[in-house]
């Protein structure tokens, strides 16, 4: 009888454990998005220039603010350019610094020397890829319903030099869990969240 009771309790706890594991996996992108939002806000205030988080079908990308009309192809080109410039030899980086004088403001590649005399690349980008099967939706304050971010759709969450951003709701959904998070406009903190397992 005792063995039967133990087996029944163990069998009942397996779905609960699977649900908790699915929720933990679904929360990982939210934790990363919150970290990137804090970092983008801090950089915007410290450097006195706008930064952004771009939501796209594959996930989200943090970088300096590029354009209000940003397309997914433009973002991909920018990420390739940043990766190539980061891997460039120091001589090419010095040439890039010299060529900045001819570039328009806001389109400059910035390199500085570190304490050891080597070149350090300064353009910040971080990219987060969503797990396969995860669906992302975004809703800004002026939108009546969440917009599914799929295909070539991109949504920009811009952090101004004052640290202010638009209030935002982000939804993440997979086969097991649905999470809706609301971010504040002044601090980019999570102010409300709901989870359906």
Whose tokens are 């350090």? That residue is 120
Average pLDDT along the chain = 79
Pairing of strands 135-140, 119-121: unpaired
Question: Can you tell me the mean pLDDT for 23-28?
Answer: 74
Q: How confident is the model at residue 42 (pLDDT cuts 50, 70, 90)?
A: very high
- The model's pLDDT over 99-108, given as tens digits with 9 standing for 90+, comes to 444 433 343 4
Evaluate whether 197 touches 174 at the Cβ level (below 8 Å).
no
Query: What pLDDT, on a 0 to 100 scale, did the predictor assign at position 196?
Result: 79
State the Rg of the chain over Cα: 21
- The model's pLDDT over 52-90, given as tens digits with 9 standing for 90+, comes to 999 999 999 999 999 889 899 998 898 888 888 777 665
- The region, left, alpha or beta by phi > 0 then psi within -120 to 50, assigned to residue 151 is left
Tell me the two tokens of residue 135.
Answer: 């669906």
């Amino acid at each position: 009888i005792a063995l039967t009771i133990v087996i029944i309790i163990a069998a009942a706890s397996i779905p609960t454990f699977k649900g908790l594991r699915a929720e933990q996996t679904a929360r990982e992108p939210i934790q990363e998005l919150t970290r990137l939002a804090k970092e983008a806000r801090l950089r915007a205030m410290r450097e006195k220039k706008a930064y952004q988080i771009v939501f796209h079908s594959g996930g989200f990308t943090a970088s300096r603010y590029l354009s209000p009309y940003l397309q997914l192809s433009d973002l991909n080109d920018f990420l390739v350019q940043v990766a190539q410039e980061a891997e460039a030899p120091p001589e090419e980086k010095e040439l890039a610094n010299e060529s900045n004088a001819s570039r328009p403001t806001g389109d400059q590649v910035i390199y500085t020397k570190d304490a050891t005399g080597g070149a350090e690349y300064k353009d910040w980008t971080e990219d987060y890829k969503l797990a396969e099967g995860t669906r992302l939706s975004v809703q800004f304050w002026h939108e009546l319903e969440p917009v599914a971010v799929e295909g070539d759709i991109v949504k920009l969450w811009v952090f101004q030099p004052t640290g202010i951003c638009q209030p935002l709701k982000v939804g993440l959904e997979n086969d097991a869990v649905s999470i809706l998070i609301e971010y504040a406009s002044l601090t980019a903190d999570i102010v409300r969240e709901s989870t359906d397992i």
